[in-house]
Amino acid sequence: MGVVEVGTTSEVEFTTAYQPIVDTSANGTVFAYEALIRGPNGEGADWVFGNVPVADALAFDERCRSHALSTAFAFGIRERLSLNISARAICHRRHGLYATLRTASQLGLRADDLIFEMTEHDPIPDIEKLGRWISAARGRKVKFAMDDFGAGYAGLNMLLSLRPEIIKLDMALVRNVNTDRTRQALIKGIIDACSTFGCLIVAEGVETQDEFSTLSMLGITLMQGYLFARPELARSLIATSGLVFKAEREAVASP
């Protein structure tokens, strides 16, 4: 459990859960774990950050990423780690991306095993500056993902300007995709566009076998969602192999 002082009179307790991104083309092995902030009783990230003063948000956000790294290291998680970060935080000199890279280096974790997920929900005031910071970080082999693609501001502009290595389709595009030809057409168009510059696609929020089957038919192999596994604390992942996710997926398909 992490405990971070905020302001001068209060503190926020939090922990980190990890949810796998599964490579369905490789027998359901783990492509990466996304680190997700949770409250002491399992509350979501919105609840946790709702208890943090705005003035302390960037420092707290950086502490959460450091906690995710140190916890994963302590429990022997050696797969790629995907860490959420806002566009504003990437460019912050004290509490931004490079502070997280310093923590990873101190732990002996490789930068090329880190994925930074940028949210699309917030507007980006200076996309050129952001692009320069991202380009510099790529010199260290860091990868970038665009989270919740299709749900926020100027997604196509960000895709064209920043060229992330990965985009994560918002669950609103994924939900009931098996019965919605419009969603299928949109996703197919995104796949075609991303294939031109080697951008991987992750489908978020996959919950049913029918969604899985349709996404697979469209050509998506990286998936994340309750169909495979819910977010778990690090200690629950120690004995878990990627084959478990394949077994769980097949069990859902069984009558």
Look at 234 and 76; give whichever has higher pLDDT.
Answer: 76
Q: Please list the residues that pair with 2 across neighbouring strands.
A: 14
Band (130; pLDDT cuts 50, 70, 90): confident
Band (158; pLDDT cuts 50, 70, 90): confident
One-letter amino acid of 179: T
Between CA 166 and CA 156 the distance in angstroms is: 13
Q: Residue 241: helix, strand or coil by DSSP? A: coil
| Rg for the chain, CA atoms, rounded | 18
Q: Please list the residues that pair with 29 across neighbouring strands.
A: 23
pLDDT at 254 (0 to 100): 41
Between CA 220 and CA 13 the distance in angstroms is: 37
Band (248; pLDDT cuts 50, 70, 90): very low
Q: In this predicted structure, which of 22-31, 40-49, 75-84, 203-212 has the lowest mean pLDDT?
A: 40-49
Residues in the chain: 255
Contact 118, 164 (CB under 8 A): yes
Domains in the chain: boundaries: 2-249
Between CA 38 and CA 14 the distance in angstroms is: 6
Look at 157 and 10; give whichever has higher pLDDT.
Answer: 157
Nearest residue to 44 via CA among 84, 6, 94? 84
Between CA 85 and CA 89 the distance in angstroms is: 6
pLDDT at 226 (0 to 100): 95
Contact 114, 143 (CB under 8 A): yes
Catalytic site residues?
Answer: 204
The pLDDT tens digits of the residues spanning 91-118 come to 888 998 999 999 999 999 999 999 999 8
Contact 165, 175 (CB under 8 A): no
pTM of the model: 0.86
Tokens coding 76: 């022997």
Contact 247, 55 (CB under 8 A): no
3-20 average pLDDT score: 68
Q: Is the pLDDT of residue 151 over 80?
A: no
Band (250; pLDDT cuts 50, 70, 90): very low
Residues 6+ apart with CB under 8 A from 240: 232
Largest pairwise CA distance in the chain: 57
Q: Report how far Cα 193 is from the mean position of its chain's Cα atoms.
A: 21
Name the CATH topology of 2-249: TIM Barrel (3.20.20)
